[in-house]
Amino acid sequence: MIIEEKNRECIEACLQCMNACNYCYVSSLKEYDLAMLKECIRIDRECADVCAFAAEALSRDTAFASEICELCAKVCDACAEECDKHKHEHCKQCAEACRRCAKICREMSKAA
Amino acid sequence: MIIEEKNRECIEACLQCMNACNYCYVSSLKEYDLAMLKECIRIDRECADVCAFAAEALSRDTAFASEICELCAKVCDACAEECDKHKHEHCKQCAEACRRCAKICREMSKAA
Amino acid sequence: MIIEEKNRECIEACLQCMNACNYCYVSSLKEYDLAMLKECIRIDRECADVCAFAAEALSRDTAFASEICELCAKVCDACAEECDKHKHEHCKQCAEACRRCAKICREMSKAA
Amino acid sequence: MIIEEKNRECIEACLQCMNACNYCYVSSLKEYDLAMLKECIRIDRECADVCAFAAEALSRDTAFASEICELCAKVCDACAEECDKHKHEHCKQCAEACRRCAKICREMSKAA
């Protein structure tokens, strides 16, 4: 895949996290215990959107990689924290993707 | 990676195409023959943006996959056509990613 | 405001619709009858996202105004239809914004 | 217009800035002195994209308004600084919209 080589790992982590968050969002809206998941739905969308934004910004080699990745890491942390409260498989997978993305974004943020 | 299984191939094609278009966009802005590449720059951004939009829509299992993928395929066609006019390696790679994405989007559009 | 004059009315209709959809989305997530509103939540996000995409595309004078506005009009129709099922004030306002946006997008789509 | 009342002024400033940046981007790509404007083109897109992202995030009442508006203000500053180097009317209007947006985003960032 042809992308800015130095940004590749972080782009891919953001895109995986976007997918995990959107999958959790869609799945949560189908769950029986919907009321318990409303904060999860909300932060899933938030996190998917910021990850999508960060991935596209990194793929056009933004001059603001450090600031954008720092923002992305914060939202990922919040999403992981919320998803950790729930037992659903999609929440567990989402929390894991968020933690991984937050870690890689923080490294990117320091390096950029 | 946890995404909607049926949409996976198309999401990945869109994201690869977004990366290729943005790489071509960034690279074109650095070229000496900038004036010849201005239409390329413009359509690269257009195509990257529609691919990013399509990928996120598919990852949240949009009910409009057919229409969105049809739009994406048209923009990819136009971007491939423009990039084919230029000799730069980034243009060739972009044209190839666009053609692949257009093909997969058309299949998705019919299946959705 | 400095924008592409010919696209101005349509950009503004899309942005108003984005706002109405996101307001309805946020408000729906706070309602007691959350389970009845889950399709509304889903289509609100869908419609807000496509309106935001259309508005930005029009503001950079996209060559695909016709196709993008046609897509936007379809999603607006679906969102208006869903919101019409509910009695909440935010749903009524959202349905109205969606119908207005769909109408203006269809005019834009024919003219473009 | 129905939007989150407390975010209204900032959403509108972001959207006006998005429009000004995209207008400057499109106009710059048509200028004779294209080579001198390549950094302007690049930062115009960057700024339009972050403004669009901020506006949509504020319209869904993001919990990260402070961080997002701070990021947006930084990118607006950089875009205004670049546009100030050029004599084109679209650059002057863009710089003005960026400065206004940066100011309102900073106020929002402190208040949020």
pLDDT at position B1 is: 43
Predicted complex ipTM: 0.94
Helix axes B8-30, B38-59, angle to 10 degrees: 160
Nearest CA to CA, how far is C57 from chain D (Å)?
Answer: 9
A1: DSSP letter: -
Q: Is D47 on the interface with B (CB under 8 A)?
A: no
C85: DSSP letter: T
By Cβ distance, the residue of B48, B61, B93 closest to A2 is: B93
Cβ <8 Å between D2 and C25:
no
Q: Which residues of chain C have pLDDT under 50?
A: 1-2
Q: How far apart are CA C29 and CA D63, in angstroms?
A: 14
pLDDT at position C51 is: 98
Q: Is D34 on the interface with B (CB under 8 A)?
A: yes
Assess contact for D48 and D21: CB atoms under 8 A.
yes
Q: Is A23 on the interface with B (CB under 8 A)?
A: yes
List chain B residues with CB under 8 Å of C56: 49
Q: Is D62 on the interface with A (CB under 8 A)?
A: yes
What tens digit of pLDDT does each residue of D72-109 get? 999 999 999 999 999 999 999 999 999 999 999 999 99
Residues 6+ apart with CB under 8 A from A12: none
pLDDT at B52 over 90: yes
What tens digit of pLDDT does each residue of D21-77 get? 999 999 999 999 999 999 999 999 999 999 999 999 999 999 999 999 999 999 999
List chain A residues with CB under 8 Å of D61: none
Q: How far apart are CA A93 and CA A89, in angstroms?
A: 6
List chain D residues with CB under 8 Å of A59: none
By Cβ distance, the residue of B46, B50, B67 closest to C74 is: B67
Assess contact for B62 and B101: CB atoms under 8 A.
no
Neighbours of chain D (3+ CB pairs under 8 A): A, B, C
**Residue B103: both structure tokens together:** 């093909």
Q: Among B6, B13, B103, B106, which residue's Cα sits nearest to residue B62?
A: B6
Q: How far apart are CA A45 and CA A24, in angstroms?
A: 9
Q: How far apart are CA B6 and CA B10, in angstroms?
A: 9
Residues 6+ apart with CB under 8 A from B84: B91, B95
Cβ <8 Å between B62 and C46:
yes
Q: How far apart are CA A85 and CA C72, in angstroms?
A: 36
Neighbours of B12 (CB within 10 A): 19
What tens digit of pLDDT does each residue of A63-101 get? 999 999 999 999 999 999 999 999 999 999 999 999 999
Minimum CA–CA partner of B52 in chain C: C53
Assess contact for C65 and B71: CB atoms under 8 A.
no
Q: How far apart are CA B15 and CA D15, in angstroms?
A: 26
Q: Letter for the amino acid at A61?
A: D
Burial tier of A77 (Cβ tally within 10 Å: 0-12, 13-18, 19+) = middle
What tens digit of pLDDT does each residue of A99-112 get? 999 999 999 999 98
**3-class secondary structure for chain D?**
CCCCHHHHHHHHHHHHHHHHHHHHHHHHHCCCCHHHHHHHHHHHHHHHHHHHHHHHHHHCCCCCHHHHHHHHHHHHHHHHHHHCCCCCHHHHHHHHHHHHHHHHHHHHHHHC
Assess contact for D54 and D67: CB atoms under 8 A.
no
Q: How far apart are CA C1 and CA D24, in angstroms?
A: 13
By Cβ distance, the residue of D46, D63, D68 closest to A62 is: D46
Whole-number Cα distances in Å, C29 to A43, C32, C37, C45, D77:
12, 9, 8, 12, 35
**H-helix or E-strand spanning residue B31:** none
Cβ <8 Å between C46 and B56:
no
Q: Is B46 on the interface with C (CB under 8 A)?
A: yes
Dihedral Cα C36, C74, B76, D40, nearest 10 deg: -90
pLDDT at position A1 is: 43
pLDDT at B95 over 60: yes
Which stretches within B3-88 are classed as H helix? 8-30, 38-59, 65-83
- The three-state secondary structure class of B3 is coil
| Topology of domain D5-111, CATH | Substrate Binding Domain Of Dnak; Chain:A; Domain 2 (1.20.1270)
Neighbours of chain B (3+ CB pairs under 8 A): A, C, D
**Average pLDDT of span A19-44:** 96
